Structure 1
Amino acid sequence: MHISSLALGLLAIFVTISAAIPGSTSTAHLNKEYTEEHNGVQYTVFEHANTGAKMSYVNNSGICETTQGVNQYSGYISIGNNMNMFFWFFEARDNPTTAPLAAWFNGGPGCSSMIGLFQENGPCQFYNGSSTPSLNAYSWNTLANMLYIDQPIGVGFSYGDADVNSTVSAAPEVWSLLQSFYAQFPQYESRDFGIFTESYGGHYGPEFASYIQQQNAAISAQKIPGEHINLVAVGINNGWFDSMIQYKAYIDYSANNSYNQILSPSDYSTYMDTYNSKCAPAISDCYNSGTDDSCSSAQNTCYQDIEYAIISSGDFDVYDLRQPYKDPYPPKVYQEYLGNTTVQNAIGAQSQYQECANDANSKFQETGDNTRSFIATLSDVVQSGITVLVWAGDADWICNYMGVLAVANSVSFNGSDDFNSKDLQPYTVNGKETGRYKTVDNFSYLQVYAAGHEVPYYQPATALQVFIQTMQEKGISST
C-alpha cells in the first residue's frame, strides 16, 4: 500500500520551527512533521523541503535490538513519487550521542541489506536453528550508529516505481535518503560517517563515496542546498570491482585455493585459453567503447564461458566453497522471520520481503553495469584521503580473495608502489591469527581465514575489530 494512503489515519500535523537545511537559498520552504496511523501502527512522518523526500517510520519496534535503552527506527524514505526506500536504524550501544554513523549496503545488484543486518553485523542473529533472533555480541552498533538501507527500489522491503539501472544512477537516490535522514535527525549531521558494503559493493562503495564527495564540494561552493556528509571511511568485503581482473581470478582460484580445487591443470589451461580468446577481448571492448551493448555482451560472454561453466562443473556453494551447492550457508532462517505479518507491522514494512529482486538485477544487466570497472573511482576515493579497506573471506568463490588482492594492487595512490611491494603480514585478534594483511597510508587489504562471502558471519570478532579500526581512520593492525 502506498504511503500516501495512510492519510486516512492522520492524527496531527505541524510545521517545524526550523527552515530547510543549511545551504538553502529560501526560508519559505519549511520541513513538515506529523503523525499518522495504519493497521494500528503509528508512524512519524517527516517531509524534507529541499529534496522533496518523505520519511515515514516507527519508533522502537522491539525487533532485533533488545538492549536496554538503545533506540531504533525503521520505515521508509520516499525519494520521489511512489519511490519508497526502506531503512532500519539502530543507535550505538555505547555512547550513541557521540558515536559515529555508518551505513551498510548489501550487493546483488538487487539484494537487501537485511542480509547484512540479520546474518552478518546487525544487533541480532539466529543461533542454533532458532526461529527467533538473539542479540549479537559482535554487532557493529557496538561502536557506531548503524543505518541499513534496502536499495534500489524493489529490493527487500523497498517498493514502488524503480528508475535505477546502474551504479551511477543509484548514487543520487542514496544521497537523497541520507539528506532526508540528516534533516530528521540533525544530531548526526556532524558525526564521522562510513560506508560499508560487500559483493556488488565493489561498485557501490566507490561510486557512492565519490558522489558524496562531489555533492559536498557543490554544497561548499553554494551550488546546491544540502548537508555536508563527513565521510571518513569506506569498507568493502568480497567486492566485485573489475571484470578483467576478477573473471581471471575465477580460474586461478578454482585451481589453486586451499579448500576445494575444482579445476585440474588441464582444465585450468582450457579456461585460460577461453578467457584470453573470448572473455578478455569482450571486456576490453566494453572498457574502450563504454556502450551498454558492448558491456552487456561482455557480461553474457564471460558469464557463460567462464563463471557459469565453472559453477556447473562441481558441487559447491559459490559463497562458501566448502559447502555443497544445495546447502546454502549461512541458513536463510531470517527470511521466514521477516515474512511474518506481526514482524512486518512492528517495523513499519509496507511490502512483502524480497531478499534479491530479479527486476532490479535485470535493469543493471541491460546496461552492462556488471562489466564496468570501478578501480579508477576507488583510486580517486583513496587519493582523497578517506580511510579505505578492501577485504575478503578466503572461502568465497564468487568474489574471491585472489581477485580482490589483484584489485587492491591495481589501486593508484601516492603509496601504490610501497603497497604493491609489501608482503602480507599475519593479522591477529587478541593474539589469534585470523588472516593476512597489508596497509600503506590510508589504504588496507585483508584476507580473512575460514570465511565465506559474508565475512562477519564466519569471523565476527575479526570483522568487528577491522570495522572499529577503519571507522577510527586507522590502517588496520593486529591486536
Structure 2
Amino acid sequence: MRWTFGVGAAFVASTIAKPTSSRTVNKRYVEERNGINYNVFEHAATSSKMSFVKNSGICETTPGVNQYSGYISVGEGLNMWFWFFEARQNPKEAPLAAYFEGGPGDGSEYGLFTQHGPCHFVNNETTPSLNPYSFNEYANVLYVDQPIGAGFSYGNVSVNSTKAAAPYVWTLLQAFYDSFPEYENRDFGLWTESYGGHYGPEFVKYILDQNAAIARGDIQGEEIRVTALGINNGWFDARIQEKANVDYAFDNPYRQFINESYHAELLSRYDTNCTPAIERCAATNTSEDCFDAWSSYMNEIEYPLLAAMREGFPTAYPGDIRRQYLRPSSTYVSYLQRADIQKALGAEVNYTDSIGAGAFIYGGDDPRSFLSQLSTIVQAGIPIVSYAGDADYVCNWLGVLQVADEIQWPGQKAFANQTLQPYTLNGVQKGTFKSLDNLIFMRIFEAGHNVPFYQPEASLQIFEQVMKTGGVTPT
C-alpha cells in the first residue's frame, strides 16, 4: 500500500549486528519474561538473539503443523518480529519462502491475514478461520515485520531507505538458518508486494552479494539459495510508472477517469516538470533531489488523478477501481491488539499495522529506481515473477509490464516483443502472461492491488508453480 505517509527517523548504520570471527559459541536455553516462556537462541556469527514461542495455537490450527513466533535482534536494541509456519504438506522437504509487506512501513500481518497466510477473517468475523489457499499449503513460510517499528517489531532506530533495510533482513535470515538448520539447503523464495518493488530487488541483490562474499571467505555466514522472487503489483521505477498512471487513468478495463484533453495535459506536465526532477534524483541520489522528485509527481500527477478519480465516484478506492470494489478487511488489527493474543504469540509490544512512509519519503526513497537490481537478478538466472491485478491503479499493470520490458538482460528484446497469452486455472482464464527463461510477467483479471485477496486460488497456483519449477503453466 504505497499511498500512506507518516514521519520516521533516520537510519543509523552502526547499530547493525556485525558478523564475528567465531560461530562456535551459539547458545540455546529457555527464558521466562513477562509471564511468557521463550525458546532462546543466541547466534554468535551475527551477535543476534532469537526468542520465540512454539505452537501458540493462533492462526494455524491444522493438526501437526508447527509454528513459531517471536523476535530476532538484528542490532543493539533492535528487535525484528517473525512468524514462521511449517508447510501443511511435507514440511521436511518443502521449500522456504519469506514474505515482506510493502508500504513502506506496513506489518506483514497485513499479507498474512488478508491474503495468503494460514488463516483469514471471513465476513469481518472477530476470530480467524483456516485459509485453504495459504502459501503454506506448499511451502514453509516466514513472515517478517520490517522495518523496525512495523507490526510487532520494535527498537530505537527507524530505517529510511530500502538500501538501509537490506542488511537487517540478511541478519535475520542468518540467525533463522542457524536456529533452524534444517532449512539451510532448501530452495528459498522471497515474496512481497507494492513497495516490495523496491524491497524485493534490493533484498535479493544484497543476499546475492553476501553469498559471493561468503564464497570468497570475506565474511562468515550461510549462503542463501535464492530460487525465486515474486512481486505483486510492485512499485519499481517512478520514471516508468508515474507516466503509466496517467495512461491507466485514461484507458483501463473498468472506468475512465480522465478525458483525452486532460490526459494530454497531464502527460505534458509529466514531461516538463516530473521527468527532469526524476532524472536529477537518479543523477545525484541525494535525499533532497529525490524528495523533490517525489513532490513533483505527487503534485503534478498523483493528487490531480486521485481528485479526478473521486470526482464522479467519491468512495473510489485506488487499489480496486471497479465500481463494485472490494478491499481487504482490517479486522485482524483489533485481533492482534488483544493482550491475550499477544501473550500467546510472545509479542512484547502492541501491534502497529503501519508506521507510515514518512522516513522513506523524506529520505527520497520512493522515486529511486530498482530496475538495475532487477536486471542483476535476472542476469544471475534467478526466476522472477512480476504479477499485477488489472483493477489496481496504485501500481497498475501497464506500468508493471513496462518495467518488465525494460529489464536489461540478453533476452530483453525477445521478451518485450512477446504477446501475452492466456493463463488458466483448471481451464478457466484468470489472466494473461508472458515468460522467457527466468522472467515472467502476469496480468491477473478482476484483481486489485493485493492479488491473493482477489484471486486466492490462482495466486496459490502461481506461487506453487514458481517455487517448484521457476515458471508458470496454465492448467
Q: Shorter-chain TM-score: which interval?
A: over 0.9
The code of the aligned residue for 1:468 comes to E
Structure 1 residue runs of 4+, over 6 Å off? none
Distance 1:242 1:373 in 2: 4
After superposition, residues 208-287 of structure 1 pair within 5 angstroms as: 208-287=203-282
Equivalent position of 1:390 in the other structure:
386
Q: Which is worse superposed, 330-339 or 193-202?
A: 330-339
Does residue 429 (structure 1) correspond to residue 425 (structure 2)? The answer is: yes
Shift of 1:26: 3.5
Shift of 1:128: 2.2
How big is each residue's C-alpha offset from its partner over 1:357-413, in whole Å with a ceiling of 9 and x where there is no partner?
02xx22211221100000111011011001110010011111000100010111111
Distance 1:158 1:26 in 2: 27
Shift of 1:470: 0.9
Q: Which is worse superposed, 123-132 or 224-233?
A: 123-132
Equivalent position of 1:54 in the other structure:
49
SS at match of 1:371: coil
Equivalent position of 1:317 in the other structure:
317
Q: Which is worse superposed, 32-41 or 278-287?
A: 32-41
Distance 2:326 2:33 in 1: 37
Equivalent position of 2:333 in the other structure:
335
SS at match of 2:211: helix
* Aligned residues of 1:232 and 1:473 also touching (Cα < 8 A): no
The code of the aligned residue for 2:346 comes to G
The code of the aligned residue for 1:421 comes to N
How big is each residue's C-alpha offset from its partner over 1:148-170, in whole Å with a ceiling of 9 and x where there is no partner?
00001011111111242111110
Equivalent position of 2:14 in the other structure:
none
Shift of 1:436: 0.5
Shift of 1:39: 3.5
Shift of 1:312: 2.1
Shift of 1:32: 1.3
Distance 2:71 2:298 in 1: 35
Equivalent position of 1:441 in the other structure:
437
After superposition, residues 273-422 of structure 1 pair within 5 angstroms as: 273-313=268-308, 314=310, 315=314, 316-322=316-322, 329-358=327-356, 361-422=357-418
How big is each residue's C-alpha offset from its partner over 1:306-326, in whole Å with a ceiling of 9 and x where there is no partner?
1122112213111111268xx
The code of the aligned residue for 2:204 comes to A
Distance 1:403 1:226 in 2: 37
Distance 2:459 2:22 in 1: 45
Distance 1:170 1:323, change over 3 A: farther
How big is each residue's C-alpha offset from its partner over 1:425-479, in whole Å with a ceiling of 9 and x where there is no partner?
0100111000010010010000000001110011011101111111123321201
After superposition, residues 78-157 of structure 1 pair within 5 angstroms as: 78-157=73-152
Shift of 1:24: 7.5
Equivalent position of 1:16 in the other structure:
none
* Aligned residues of 1:387 and 1:473 also touching (Cα < 8 A): no
The code of the aligned residue for 2:472 comes to I
How big is each residue's C-alpha offset from its partner over 1:113-170, in whole Å with a ceiling of 9 and x where there is no partner?
1011000110011112311111111100011000000001011111111242111110
Shift of 1:269: 1.4
State TM-score, norm by structure 1: 0.92
SS at match of 1:436: strand
How big is each residue's C-alpha offset from its partner over 1:158-206, in whole Å with a ceiling of 9 and x where there is no partner?
1111242111110000000000001100000000000000001101111
Distance 2:163 2:440 in 1: 25
SS at match of 1:472: helix
SS at match of 1:287: helix
Distance 2:383 2:323 in 1: 34
After superposition, residues 188-203 of structure 1 pair within 5 angstroms as: 188-203=183-198
Equivalent position of 2:202 in the other structure:
207
Distance 1:181 1:35, change over 3 A: same
* Aligned residues of 2:59 and 2:119 also touching (Cα < 8 A): yes
Does residue 473 (structure 1) correspond to residue 469 (structure 2)? The answer is: yes
SS at match of 1:370: coil
179, 185, 197: which one pairs with 1:184? 179
Structure 2 alignment gaps of length 5 or more: 1-18
Does residue 33 (structure 1) correspond to residue 28 (structure 2)? The answer is: yes
Shift of 1:231: 0.6
Q: Which is worse superposed, 96-105 or 30-39?
A: 30-39
The code of the aligned residue for 1:381 comes to I
The code of the aligned residue for 1:352 comes to N
* Aligned residues of 1:207 and 1:374 also touching (Cα < 8 A): yes
How large is the Cα RMSD of the aligned pairs?
1.4
SS at match of 1:304: helix
Distance 1:321 1:342 in 2: 38
Distance 1:86 1:104 in 2: 12
Distance 1:328 1:458 in 2: 8
Distance 1:82 1:25, change over 3 A: closer
SS at match of 1:414: coil
Shift of 1:40: 2.6
* Aligned residues of 1:233 and 1:473 also touching (Cα < 8 A): no
The code of the aligned residue for 2:330 comes to K
State TM-score, norm by structure 2: 0.93
After superposition, residues 168-183 of structure 1 pair within 5 angstroms as: 168-183=163-178
* Aligned residues of 2:52 and 2:71 also touching (Cα < 8 A): yes
* Aligned residues of 2:50 and 2:175 also touching (Cα < 8 A): yes
* Aligned residues of 2:21 and 2:45 also touching (Cα < 8 A): no
* Aligned residues of 2:112 and 2:118 also touching (Cα < 8 A): yes
Number of residue pairs matched? 452
The code of the aligned residue for 2:350 comes to Q
How big is each residue's C-alpha offset from its partner over 1:343-369, in whole Å with a ceiling of 9 and x where there is no partner?
1111111111111102xx222112211
